[in-house]
């Protein structure tokens, strides 16, 4: 089968060659260096742009592209729609690689079924609800024929485009702008809890995109503005990103530290020290906030690095900030802090010690500043109806324990 073209910021950055998931590879072409510098890491910190592929990093190149695909049921459904195996990374990207996380577009230039041009299909509230309830027919909101969307993660969601004050289903690779997460019968408070966590993060200064609850023909859903998109005169512009599974060569559930130990906060911080100016301090702020609200799911795919085409790399804003301590889980963090996994056992001193091991200047001041801002936010904000009962009281009690518990000896 034909090679897949890989474009970044609208320019050729290379090709994916080979049909088998075990043997495919990414290669640059002469066109790559008409725009991008030799050894540039704008595509990925794990994949500097070389004239010839380095055999020692073949697995990392394959992993980077495999991690653009979803996990779980969404992947199963996408594969069934494309009539390929779930393990067929090339087959899945051939069908769904036009709109992925970041600024990549992946497609078969010789495919006669490739849409001639991207476009939008306007939806009313009933249409959006229908998409959310038709996951089997429209995984991630993909149209059966013209859908070209892939997005990582396990949670049920659809991706839509907001244009001219209305919702649209993106077709043929038109950039999506929002992620819509419907209320779940299994976890009915989750979207409301995430809205509150995101609102707190916004007040603390850790995110600047919009997050809200919207009713779609009687079905409440969380609407998340994509931080890897920016408005433009025509179609939204993509901003490139990679998550830390991609950057560190981790796969699937290795996003959790206990699954193989590939990802750790220290490794993430070390990469940020090389790639960014203030990334380590910002990471400490994000980790402190996540611990403060009991977000157990701050794993390596919920931490990302932005690669703008007009400025240096930087840590992406806080994402997927959900208070989770009230859920029936084991209460363990995705990434341990100063050797501690149990979220209720982490102290402010642990957060400081973790930051100090990375080399953060005045880690204590960074941690105290975030904890003070969280306390202020809790005093001035309230969860929406539908959130977990007494969520604010539980968060205040948890923050008090975190701030005042004595360090472990």
Catalytic residues: 297
User: What order do you get walking across the sheet with 240-243 strand by strand?
Assistant: 240-243, 304-307, 314-315
Q: Which two tokens stand for residue 196?
A: 């509150």
Asked if 9 contacts 238 with a C-beta cutoff of 8 angstroms, the reply is yes
Asked if 272 contacts 220 with a C-beta cutoff of 8 angstroms, the reply is no
Q: Which two tokens stand for residue 264?
A: 């750790």
The neighbouring-strand residues paired with 15 are 5, 27
The SS3 assignment for 168 reads strand
Q: What is the dihedral of CA 278, 400, 354, 190, to 10 degrees?
A: -70
Asked if 295 contacts 321 with a C-beta cutoff of 8 angstroms, the reply is yes
Q: Which two tokens stand for residue 20?
A: 């088998």
Phi, then psi, of 171 in degrees rounded to 5:
-125, 145
Q: Which two tokens stand for residue 348?
A: 């402010």
Q: How far apart are CA 132 and CA 150, in angstroms?
A: 16
Phi, then psi, of 225 in degrees rounded to 5:
-70, 130
The SS3 assignment for 336 reads strand
DSSP string covering 163-177, please? ETTEEEEEETTPPP-
Q: For 339, left (φ over 0), alpha (ψ -120 to 50), or beta?
A: left
């Amino acid at each position: 089968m034909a090679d897949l073209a890989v474009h970044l910021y609208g320019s050729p950055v290379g090709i994916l060659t080979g049909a088998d998931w075990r043997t495919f590879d990414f290669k640059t072409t002469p066109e790559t260096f008409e725009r991008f510098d030799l050894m540039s890491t704008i595509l990925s910190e794990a994949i500097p742009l070389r004239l010839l592929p380095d055999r020692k990093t073949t697995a990392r190149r394959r992993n980077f592209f495999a991690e653009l695909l979803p996990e779980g049921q969404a992947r199963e459904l996408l594969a069934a729609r494309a009539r390929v195996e779930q393990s067929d990374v090339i087959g899945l990207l051939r069908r769904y690689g036009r709109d992925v996380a970041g600024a990549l577009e992946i497609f078969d230039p010789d495919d006669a079924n490739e849409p001639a041009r991207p476009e939008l299909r306007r939806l009313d509230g009933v249409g959006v609800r229908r998409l959310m309830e038709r996951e089997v027919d429209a995984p991630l909101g993909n149209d059966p024929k013209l859908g070209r969307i892939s997005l990582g993660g396990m949670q049920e969601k659809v991706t839509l485009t907001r244009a001219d004050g209305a919702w649209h289903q993106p077709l043929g690779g038109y950039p999506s702008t929002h992620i819509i997460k419907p209320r779940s019968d299994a976890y009915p408070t989750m979207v409301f809890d995430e809205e509150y966590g995101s609102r707190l993060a916004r007040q603390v200064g850790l995110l600047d995109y919009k997050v809200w609850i919207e009713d779609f023909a009687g079905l409440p859903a969380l609407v998340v503005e994509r931080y890897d998109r920016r408005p433009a005169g025509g179609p939204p512009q993509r901003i490139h990103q990679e998550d830390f599974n991609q950057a560190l060569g981790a796969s699937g559930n290795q996003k959790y530290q206990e699954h193989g130990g590939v990802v750790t906060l220290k490794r993430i911080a070390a990469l940020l020290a090389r790639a960014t100016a203030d990334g380590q301090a910002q990471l400490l702020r994000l980790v402190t906030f996540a611990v403060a609200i009991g977000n157990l799911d701050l794993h390596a795919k919920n931490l990302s690095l932005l690669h703008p085409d007009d400025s240096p790399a930087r840590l992406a804003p806080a994402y997927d900030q959900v208070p989770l301590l009230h859920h029936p889980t084991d209460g363990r963090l995705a990434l341990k802090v100063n050797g501690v996994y149990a979220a209720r056992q982490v102290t402010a001193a642990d957060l400081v010690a973790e930051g100090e091991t990375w080399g953060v200047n005045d880690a204590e001041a960074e941690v105290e500043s975030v904890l003070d801002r969280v306390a202020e936010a809790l005093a001035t904000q309230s969860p929406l109806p539908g959130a977990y009962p007494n969520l604010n009281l539980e968060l205040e009690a948890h923050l008090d324990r975190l701030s005042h518990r004595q360090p472990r000896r």
